[in-house]
């Protein structure tokens, strides 16, 4: 079916004047992605999975900055890790750590793409292309076509320390497009950290290939800039007995859209994707969109998302579990909940189950409500002031999502960051 003319015009205008990279080993994938983008067009509000979120902020020209630039406070300090820094979307070698990790090969997309052959050739754009069905993800296709840099990581053993991708924003007009590839070989293990604000507007794609028996932990506290506009896409493919745990913490931001598309292709695989979000103000809009496909035996997946909203903030959750025929013994769990701290905020949810196997245990639930008056009274009656009591109950509400983080030290650091935010915004 032909695209509506307004979509054609908007996509043409968006691409006009952009010097898209030609690519070396990515050349074919980039050309394919550009062709797919032209066929599907940029997202609009009338698209099914954008009806709760206006994509115009992610494609329109950047507005002039209206507030001072906020510098993200360091997190995970004191932890031994290999730090790779991007400033306004450009790799910052001076700020990055030297050295290497045994069993981990790291290269930059900008450098590797000068070659015609690379280990990432079979991965770049592959998972993104597969993730376009049954739902179009045009911003991800644009990323594959346009990204000039990113980190390519191949893990062949158990990494002794995490790899930390740290983002910095120094200007008000940085429009950042980055594409990372993580390949975890059979039996290998890695912890990947992402922190900070990449730019005024950001489009990031992560393609994660997790082989048989491999484990990948992904923890991502997003930056605290109030005006940031972010679209992220996580595409993951899991082999037999592999594990993925991905957690995202979001505070502040004008528009954040985090998508996760996970394919469980091997028996006995496990995928947990979770998020905690706190938002204050009518300019805050946060969207988690998740699609998990079970295509093997005895797979286990968890989607756990919690949002705390106040003063007109808007939270969105769209989550789906698809169980294909033959994916028997699937255990799929999905929960999305919001805590509304006033009557002006909104939580919009679209949970889905689509099951074609008959021996499964799948459930989903979505709730929205206020602070428990009974619990608040209990704490107040024992001498706890209202502000402290509210913050304690809010942290307790978010606890289930934070429990999805396997490393207690990482979870504690994020819990401290949340507590600080709540104290400032009470």
Summarised one tens digit per residue, pLDDT across range 288-312 is: 999 999 999 999 999 999 999 999 9
| C-beta of residue 198 within 8 angstroms of C-beta of residue 117 | no
Query: How far is it, in rounded angstroms, from Cα 73 to Cα 88?
Result: 16
pLDDT digits (tens, 9 = 90+) for 159-198: 999 999 999 998 888 999 999 999 999 999 999 999 999 9
Residue tagged 């906020």 (tokens): 70
Query: How far is it, in rounded angstroms, from Cα 176 to Cα 173?
Result: 9
Pairing mode of beta strands 82-87, 90-91: antiparallel
| C-beta of residue 355 within 8 angstroms of C-beta of residue 325 | no
Query: How far is it, in rounded angstroms, from Cα 207 to Cα 356?
Result: 27
pLDDT digits (tens, 9 = 90+) for 67-106: 667 778 889 998 999 999 999 999 999 999 988 899 999 9
Q: What is the mean pLDDT of residues 250-266?
A: 96
Confidence label for 314 from pLDDT (cuts 50, 70 and 90): very high
Q: What is the pLDDT of residue 1?
A: 62
DSSP helix/strand/coil, 396:
helix
pLDDT digits (tens, 9 = 90+) for 199-223: 999 999 999 999 999 999 999 999 8
Q: What is the pLDDT of residue 172?
A: 82
Confidence label for 66 from pLDDT (cuts 50, 70 and 90): low
In a 10 Å sphere around its CB, with 0-12 CB exposed, 13-18 middle and 19+ buried, how is residue 61 labelled?
Answer: exposed
358 Cβ contact list (under 8 Å, min separation 6) = 328
- CA-closest candidate to residue 27, choices 138, 118, 128, 162: 118
Q: What is the mean pLDDT of residues 417-421?
A: 94
Q: Give, in degrees to the nearest 5, the angle at Cα 86 between 80 and 91.
A: 105
Q: What is the pLDDT of residue 6?
A: 78
């Amino acid at each position: 079916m032909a695209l509506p003319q307004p979509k054609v015009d908007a996509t043409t205008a968006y691409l006009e004047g952009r010097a898209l990279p030609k690519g070396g080993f990515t050349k074919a994938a980039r050309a394919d992605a550009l062709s797919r983008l032209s066929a599907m067009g940029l997202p609009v509000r009338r698209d099914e999975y954008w009806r709760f979120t206006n994509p115009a902020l992610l494609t329109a020209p950047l507005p002039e900055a209206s507030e001072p630039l906020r510098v993200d406070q360091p997190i995970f300090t004191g932890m031994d890790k290999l730090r790779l820094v991007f400033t306004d979307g450009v790799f910052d070698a001076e700020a990055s750590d030297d050295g290497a990790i045994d069993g981990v090969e790291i290269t930059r997309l900008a450098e590797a793409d000068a070659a015609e052959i690379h280990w990432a050739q079979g991965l770049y754009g592959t998972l993104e292309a597969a993730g376009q069905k049954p739902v179009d993800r045009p911003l991800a296709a644009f990323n594959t076509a346009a990204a000039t840099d990113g980190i390519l990581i191949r893990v062949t053993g158990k990494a002794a320390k995490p790899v930390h991708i740290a983002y910095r924003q120094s200007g008000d007009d940085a429009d950042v497009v980055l594409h990372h590839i993580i390949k975890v070989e059979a039996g290998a293990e890695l912890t990947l950290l992402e922190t900070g604000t990449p730019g005024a507007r950001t489009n990031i794609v992560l393609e994660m290939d997790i082989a048989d028996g491999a484990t990948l932990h992904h923890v991502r506290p997003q930056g605290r800039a109030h005006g940031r506009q972010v679209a992220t896409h996580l595409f993951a493919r899991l082999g037999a007995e592999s594990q993925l745990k991905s957690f995202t913490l979001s505070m502040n931001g004008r528009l954040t859209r985090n998508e996760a598309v996970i394919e469980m292709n091997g028996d006995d695989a496990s995928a947990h994707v979770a998020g905690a979000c706190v938002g204050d103000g009518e300019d805050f809009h946060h969207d988690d969109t998740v699609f998990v496909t079970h295509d093997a035996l005895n797979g286990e997946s968890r989607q756990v998302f919690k949002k705390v909203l106040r003063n007109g903030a808007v939270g969105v959750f769209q989550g789906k579990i698809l169980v294909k025929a033959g994916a028997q013994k699937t255990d799929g769990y999905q929960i999305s909940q919001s805590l509304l701290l006033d009557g002006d905020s909104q939580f919009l949810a679209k949970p889905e189950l689509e099951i074609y196997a008959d021996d499964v245990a799948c459930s989903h639930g979505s709730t929205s409500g206020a602070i428990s008056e009974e619990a608040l009274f209990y704490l107040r009656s024992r001498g706890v002031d209202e502000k402290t009591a509210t913050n304690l109950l809010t942290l307790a509400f978010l606890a289930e999502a934070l429990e999805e983080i396997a490393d207690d030290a990482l979870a504690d650091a994020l819990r401290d960051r949340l507590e600080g935010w709540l104290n400032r915004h009470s």
